[in-house]
Amino acid sequence: MDAFFEWFRVLYDETGINLPFLYDDYDRNRMVDGFLMTVKLSLVCLFFSVVIGVVGAWLQGSTLKWTRRFVNGYIQLFRNTPPLVQLYFFYFAIGSQLPKVATDWGGQAPVLGSFAWAAISLSFFAGAFNVEIFRSGLEAVPKATVEAAEALGFSRLRIYTDVTLPLAFRVCLPALNNNLVNLVKTTTLAYAIAVPEMLYEANQIWSDNVNVTEMMVFLLIVYFLLVGVLVWSMNRWERALRIPGYG
């Protein structure tokens, strides 16, 4: 393995193509950490944004006026502001107002760090879109289906979880795919509040080695593959969920 990595050092000396994240231990470790951080942040945000979408769409159909207004207010707030501004707002404006806790290094730090804020902010951002995506699916479910369920004595929650949501889910999966792909790409913004994800680590490496071109090409390929994996698995899921004769 070492010989393989050393080959890239030779490549640099011979051709000037500098890939320090392959031949330098320290840079390799931080690139791997960055990749794992991107995957972790993406998974956390994907999960919570879908949960927010499902719950939000349910609350949007609530019989209570103020619940509906609250959900719509949330959607407007998060959909109409740039995610980078939200990140800065949460991290610097809200974060500094939070109660502090004693840290193991003897200082006082806010309870939530940069990763937590990135996860919260991006989940709510993508969640706002997901609510609307699920609503589009819910509205596509025929009214007669809901009425049939009501006639059978289903409660409102059971109609949602057992009848409308499963059908709506199949309708809105393509739109959901789009939004989740966007979410994975948006995790790069977390670099602004120093979450050590891939773009952040790549930036550290190119600052130390002045190899911007190589790092950019590398990042492009990795994100292409990462999002490719997501799209592939979502497509498989979409096929697995298909009901013959529906939609």
List the one residue from 9, 70, 110, 223 that touches another protein (CB under 8 A): 110
Is residue 204 a contact point for another protein (CB under 8 A)? yes
What residues between 114 and 143 interact with another protein by CB under 8 A?
Answer: 114
User: Candidates 43-51, 78-86, 204-212, 233-241 — which segment interacts with another protein by CB under 8 A?
Assistant: 204-212
Give the H/E segment covering residue 64: none
Q: Which of 203, 222, 223, 230 binds another protein (CB under 8 A)?
A: 203
Ramachandran region, residue 18 (left: φ > 0; alpha: ψ -120 to 50; beta: rest)? beta
| Three-state DSSP class for residue 123 | helix
Strands (E), 20-152: 100-102, 108-110
Q: How far is the CB of 39 from another protein (least distance, A)?
A: 20
Q: Does 106 bind another protein (CB under 8 A)?
A: yes
Of 72 and 209, CB closest to another protein:
209
DSSP letter for 93, please.
I
Question: Which residue(s) pair with 101 in the sheet?
Answer: 109
Size of the site for another protein (CB under 8 A): 27
Choice from 32, 77, 210, 241 touching another protein (CB under 8 A)? 210
Which residue type occupies 168?
Answer: A
Whether the CB-CB separation of 129 and 52 falls below 8 Å is answered with no
Among 69, 79, 100, 158, which residue sits at the site for another protein (rule: CB under 8 A)?
A: 100
Measured distance CA(169)–CA(176) in Å, rounded:
9
* Ramachandran class of 153: left when φ > 0, alpha when ψ lies in -120 to 50, beta otherwise: left
Give the nearest distance from C-beta 198 to another protein in angstroms: 14
The answer to whether the beta carbons of residues 190 and 41 sit under 8 Å apart is yes
Indicate whether 113 belongs to the interface with another protein (CB under 8 A): yes
Residue (14 or 240) nearer to another protein, CB: 14
Q: Confirm or reject binding of residue 84 to another protein (CB under 8 A).
A: no
Q: Which two tokens stand for residue 131?
A: 């609510």
Distance of closest approach, residue 140 Cβ to another protein, in angstroms: 44
Pick the piece of the chain touching another protein (CB under 8 A) from 151-159, 171-179, 207-215, 236-244.
Answer: 207-215
* Spatial CB neighbours of 215, under 8 Å, sequence gap ≥ 6: 202, 203, 205, 206
Task: State residue 55 phi and psi, 5-degree precision.
Answer: -65, -45
Query: Is residue 94 involved in binding another protein (CB under 8 A)?
Result: no
244 near another protein (CB under 8 A): no
Residues making contact with another protein (CB under 8 A) = 26, 92, 95-96, 100, 103-110, 113-114, 192, 194, 196, 200, 203-204, 206-210, 212
